[in-house]
Amino acid sequence: MTEPRDTTFNSFLKYCADNLSRFHKAADLLAGIGNVDVDIGATPKTLVMRRDKVELFRYEPTTERTVDTPVLIVYGLIGRYTFLDLQPDRSLVRSLLDKSIDLWLIDWGQPGRGERWLTMDDYVDDYIHEAVQWICRATGHDRVTLLGICEGGVLATCYAALHAEQVENLVLAGTPIDFHADIDGAAAHHGLLNTWTRSLAPEDIDLIIDALGGVIPGEFMGSIFTLMTPMRSLTKYNVDLLEKFGEKDKLMNFLRMEKWLADRPDHPGEAGRQWLKEFYQENLLVKGRFELSGRIVDLRAIVAPVLNIFALNDHIIPPACSKALGSKIGRTEYKEIGLKCGHVGLFVSNKSQGSLAEIIAEWLKVRDE
């Protein structure tokens, strides 16, 4: 008897039959997963201060503290800090605590229309400054170390320039400084966000924010990031997810990341106008013309030692945009390190998990001594 030809349809049927048990197993696995299993940002911490919707936390130590100077994490307004604490084995927070660092965190909360008038002036000169003052009073220190992440790194850099007397060290990770450094010589897949933002007319930015109720919705920003990697976004819920169904650990990693992506807060509109116009479009920070509370943010005024870490394959913040800081600051100690990973991988990939915390902790220990 002649065997049926192996047509595309027959191949598909064979694939379904071979994977039927796998689908059943995946369904049972998903049915047994609850919200608590996908908990993120779960490292124990204590709320010590609240101002409006902004909260200051102090993480509970996991070892005896050997780095004396307190470290304040300043995350960006785009996204949530929980990205730094996805799960025990993928947590910059836990890694730093395990290296005996006194770790603090600013949580910006969930800004809404009531916060649409907040500017970067408010975040730098009010919220961050109050947090630093509170930490100094609580610990007896005169200064703190700032650990700025992405947009939060820009806020931390501005604070270090305007309040130099309060900053012991400045550590930046994935932070843009020169928003036009990618124009010449950047890889084709790098800087798409920069290119898109620069292509908008300033009045278009105003129209977008006004039409959206004075805020930039988290869902809107999420869609922009999704469009930057369209093929990856199209395949992650079928091809990629199917590959993870067989292993619970991989599936949980996927679900925790998706939970973080879905928890993107709204960005206050006025701060968003500054971010898009004065940074991305006009590049005022490196030109020495960016103002906060009526004062010019002069990068040469930074006197604290600076550690600048960036991702060499970053498609959101091209490495050149971060590296530019080295030529703009004054005569302070400066060190930069590029890691072979992408923007997200800098904080959560297996390769960077140990190295990022190790680099930060070792650098801080030397300064502390």
Residue matched to tokens 């869609």: 223
Q: What does the radius of gyration of the chain's CA atoms come to, in whole angstroms?
A: 22
In the residue annotation, 150 being an active-site residue is answered as: yes
| CA proximity to 341, closest of 355, 360, 320, 327 | 355
Which positions ≥6 away from 284 have C-beta within 8 Å?
Answer: 278, 290
β-sheet with 306-311: strand ranges across: 45-51, 54-59, 101-107, 67-74, 144-149, 167-173, 306-311, 334-339
Of residues 16, 136, 150, 321, which has the active-site annotation?
Answer: 150
| CA proximity to 168, closest of 147, 143, 149 | 143
Q: What DSSP designation does 68 have? A: E
How far from the centroid of its chain's Cα atoms is residue 205's Cα? Answer: 23
Q: What DSSP designation does 104 have? A: E
Pairing of strands 90-91, 167-173: unpaired
Pairing of strands 215-216, 267-268: antiparallel
Q: Are 296 and 289 in contact (CB under 8 A)?
A: yes
Active site residues: 150
